[in-house]
Amino acid sequence: MSAVGEQQRIQILELTDKGDGIGRLDAVPLYVAGALPGEEVEVTLTLVKPNYLHGRLDKVVTASPDRIADFCAHSECGGCQVRPLAYPAQLEYKRELVRRALTQQGLGVEVEPVLGMQSPFAWRNKAQFAVRATDEGAEIGFYRKHSHDLVACDDCAVQDPLHGELLARLRRWMREHEVHPYDEAHHEGDLRHVMTRKGFASGEWMLVLVTRTEQLPAEAELLAALEGLPITTVVHNIHPEPGNRVLGLTNRVLSGEGIITDRLHDLEFVISPLSFYQVNPVQTDMLYGKALEFAGLTGSETVFDLYCGIGTISLFLARQAARVVGIELVPEAIDDARRNAERNGIGNTEFHVGKAEEKVAELYHAGERADVVVIDPPRKGCDKALLDTLVAMAPERLVYVSCHPQSLARDLAWLTARGFVLEAVQPVDMFPHTLHVEAVARLRRA
- Residues with a known catalytic role: 403
Contact partners, residue 119, CB within 8 Å, separation at least 6 = none
Q: Are 433 and 77 in contact (CB under 8 A)?
A: no
- Residue among 358, 368, 361 nearest 329 (CA): 358
Residue type present at position 53: L
360: number of Cβ within 10 Å: 27
Angle at 161 between CA 159 and CA 165, to 5 degrees: 120
CA pair distance 97, 425, nearest whole angstrom: 12
Q: Are 197 and 260 in contact (CB under 8 A)?
A: yes
φ and ψ at 407, to 5 degrees?
A: -70, -35
Torsion angle (degrees, nearest 10) of CA 342, 347, 352, 357? -130
Contact partners, residue 136, CB within 8 Å, separation at least 6 = none
